[in-house]
Chain A
Amino acid sequence: MSLSKLKLDLSLNGDIISNMPPNIMETILSRLPIKEAVRTCILSKKWRYNWITIPELIFDFTLRKAMRNRNDDNVVKFIDDVLSLHRGPICKFELSGNLCIQDTGYIDKWILCLSRNDIQEFILCLQPLLRDYELPSCFYSCELLTHLHLSYCTLQRPPLFSSFNFLKSLLLYKVEFVGFTYENLVSRCPILERLKIEGLASYADFIIYAPKLKSLVVNGFFEVTQNICLKNTPLLECVSLNLHCCGLNSKRLNHREGENSRLINVFGCLDGVEKLAVRGNFLKFFVVDFVPTKLPNTFYHMKSLELQICFNDVLMVATALCLIRSAPNLQELKIDAIIHTKIQPQFPEIGDGPEFSLNQLRNVKINSFGGWRRQLEFVEFLLSITPVLEKMSIYSHKDPTIAEGYDPMHGEMMLEVLMQFPRVSPKAKIEYFEAGRLVEFGK
């Protein structure tokens, strides 16, 4: 566009940019890939040391590409040189790009450098091979951290009184813990607002005590015999638990007298939650326990709920219903309605009559729908308790391994069955999709 125009008046204006205030210069250089920012040192004497105070150092996958010799050892050397020449605060440091770092002594040294330069935003994404790499203890001296993202590394027990008093956002991807737990770490982050854990593989209790937490995302595996507990989390707005329970067959746990039900341990403190997603087979976690009809607390603020339910499991459906019943102001509901086998156990009474209804629910989306009787009952039930429903979208999913010997209804026939269900909402529209395509009569 205007680059040519920008060049026009060069002779008139001379070199102005070189005399810009340092903070503007740093901002300009921060926007360049690190290699290009460093390279400006050859422009002129004034530019020679302009780059050394840039507050953000990002070494990502573009760096290796920018090197003429794409050897990881050279990249490591480059990072090391940049850090040793850099002066002043480093607000942000990112090391990613799947670098092969043979000598982890470099990383120790870099973290030491960051801990002395007021690091606030620290992103360290190492190669899976370095999973056993233990962060040095000086990592816990990065006390000004506001944002921390770690991938593939190991955390050792922090020194007794260290804490991250400014940390608001914490993302851990396949991070191992030695000698302490998530609970210990989170309890040292008093103002933490966002916590995301990817690749949880926990055989210890998972207890989160975080008074300022607004969003929690946990993906991974969890031993069913362990305990999960969310305590003192009044500000949580968004919760997504995508967990696969292990050890379901080996042990059968019974609810012990005087103990909180598992549902209450996990959901009992989520009074402010607006969005909740429970995926994986995590609802199973509650099935080994006593499942109440409704939680003692009510999710008054919950607008959106997403659940993965296995329709073979009566108690899993009961757990799902318990959550749905506890969210009277729900506006959107998304169900992943899985069926594993042909065997469909006798359901308990699914509907609890006209005394219960979801008076705000406008949108329902059901995935993995196979036209099974249990799923149909569930659809019928939802249509009977949603007076302002606007749209129910049902996506069919035909699993050939299950459908053997079973001739499921499909196409217009299925649509007809769905359309015949009584709907309490006059506005409710039903859309039925097969293989992603909308099924319509006469088409």
Chain B
Amino acid sequence: MSSTKIFLKSSDDKTFEIDETAARASETLKNIIDGGCLDGVIPLPNVSSNILPKVIEYCKKHGGDNGSSKKIANGGVDKDKEILPDYDEEEDKREKVRVDELKKWEEEYMDFDQQVLYDLMLAANYLHIKGLLDLTVEKAASMIRGRTPDQIRENFNINSDFTPEEEEEMILIEDEWDDEWAFD
């Protein structure tokens, strides 16, 4: 079990420590480590000290278990099970407990304000942490799904900058979507 420490420097020059195994949850960090360009501290000019600890918390939870987090991303369906039923019920039960535990952790982890959501999304994108990007993007998508345009604008503080005439026109188009599908 390797427990080499890696040091990350945030955009505002604060240094944070992370285990190498955890850091490998990030493709970007993984490439830096494997590339042998590790020169003491890795500077992360796009991630601030407000958000970096949150990112590290995620990596700690998910570092070194890329295989199992993939399972969750697939909706818990192991592709091979489509082919032959698995005999090992015990293994299935253990897996279920693990997935449930992880879901609960994710729920608690994701309890933050909207600014953190954006920062985390950007950090996950920059550091290529697929699981974290999925999680944050899904949260944003859930704020759009099944909502009216006004609700969406309210959720994200989007100002409709269409002129009243344009807006009228857009609404007309929306109405037509289900009839003739007149796009412009």
**Do A and B assemble together?**
yes
| Bound-state Cα–Cα, A306 to B183, Å | 55
Q: Confirm or deny: B149 has a beta carbon within 8 angstroms of a beta carbon on chain A.
A: yes
Contact with A along B126-162 (1 / 0, CB 8 A): 0000000100011011011110010011111111111
Is A2 at the interface (CB under 8 A from chain B)?
A: yes
Stretch at the interface among B22-30, B33-41, B65-73, B105-113: B105-113
Q: Say whether B144 contacts A36, CB under 8 Å.
A: yes
Q: Name, among A31, A42, A332, the residue most crowded by chain B CB atoms within 10 Å (CB to CB).
A: A42
Minimum CB–CB distance from B116 to chain A (whole Å) comes to 9
Q: How close is B107's CB to chain A, nearest CB, in angstroms?
A: 7
Comparing A17-25, A286-294, A378-386, A435-443, the segment that makes contact with chain B is A17-25
Within 8 A of A (CB), among B78-96: 80, 83-84, 87
Quick one: which of A2, A24, A81 contacts B137, CB cutoff 8 A?
Answer: A24
Cβ–Cβ < 8 Å partners of A27 in chain B = 133, 137
A275 CB within 8 Å of chain B: yes
Q: Which of A8-16, A199-207, A308-316, A341-349 contacts B (4 or more CB under 8 A)?
A: A8-16
A77→B177 CA distance, assembly (Å): 10
The residues of A that contact B183 with a CB separation of less than 8 Å are 81, 85
Chain A, residue nearest B125 (CB):
A24
Interface residue stretch chosen among A43-51, A87-95, A115-123: A43-51
Chain B, Cβ-Cβ closest to A2: B111
Interchain CB contact under 8 A, B143 and A3 = yes
B interface residues, tally (CB under 8 Å) = 47
Partner of A304, one of B84, B137, B162, B173: B84
Nearest opposing residue in chain B for A76, CB measure: B181
Q: Are A44 and B158 in contact (CB under 8 A)?
A: yes
Q: Nearest chain B CB to A79's CB is how many angstroms away?
A: 10
> Whole-angstrom distance from the CB of A338 to the nearest CB of chain B?
19
A43 to B149: give the CA distance in the assembly, Å.
6
Q: Which residue of B lies closest to A303 (CB)?
A: B87
| Shortest Cβ distance from residue B132 to the other chain A in the assembled complex, whole angstroms | 12
In whole Å, how far is B72's beta carbon from the nearest beta carbon of chain A? 15
- Docked Cα-Cα span, A240 to B113, in Å, equals 50
- Structural contact, B181 and A363, CB atoms closer than 8 A: no
Give the contacting residue for B159; candidates A12, A44, A78, A365; CB below 8 A: A44
Complex: A14 Cα to B133 Cα, angstroms: 22
Chain A residues, Cβ within 8 Å of B165: none
- Contact for B87 among A8, A217, A304, CB less than 8 A: A304
CB distance A6 to B114 under 8 Å? yes
Q: Judge if A238 is at the interface, Cβ distance under 8 Å.
A: yes
Min CB distance B123 to A, Å, is: 11
Known: A15-B158, A28-B137, A43-B158. A240 touches B84 (CB 8 A): yes
The 5 closest A-B pairs by CB, nearest first: A31-B141, A68-B178, A6-B114, A10-B157, A42-B170
- Chain B residues within CB distance 8 Å of chain A: 80, 83-84, 87, 107, 110-115, 117-118, 121-122, 125, 133, 137-138, 140-141, 143-146, 149, 152-162, 170-171, 173-174, 177-181, 183
Given A15-B156, A17-B118, A31-B137, 10 new contacts (CB under 8 A)? A3-B155, A7-B114, A13-B157, A17-B158, A27-B137, A42-B149, A42-B173, A74-B178, A74-B179, A81-B181
- 9 A-B pairs within 8 Å (CB atoms) are namely A2-B113, A24-B137, A42-B174, A43-B153, A44-B159, A46-B161, A215-B80, A275-B83, A304-B87
